[in-house]
Amino acid sequence: MDHVLIEALEVDTVIGVYDWERTLRQRLRLDLELATDIRPAAQRDDIQQTLDYAAISARIGEFAEAHQFALVETFAERLAETLRQEFTIARLSLTVRKPGAVANAASVGVRITRGQE
């Protein structure tokens, strides 16, 4: 199985468990690895035969804009579910980082893998 990569995608969203966090938008940084067979697209040089990373990136931005969660875990789980349904992704690995959330750490976050390869 091949993988389409989207790395260090940044989105702003309302996320956090503290009251003050619920009043502002915070930046999240995402890395995605999306399992697919790229051979049909490569053979025909046709974006319709593969996962369109521009369309997926735009959908992630829309998702972040439209939703508010307390937990990064919830953001990751719901986003993974949305992407797998809307883009027919067999398997994905998603890392969501929240920069500056903990003093003395560049970022904190979660990494999940959903689906079968």
Q: Which residues are catalytic?
A: 98
Q: In which element (H, E) is residue 31 found? A: strand 26-36
Please give the Cα distance from 60 to 42 (Å, whole number). Answer: 25
Report the interhelical angle of 53-66 vs 72-87 (nearest 10°): 140
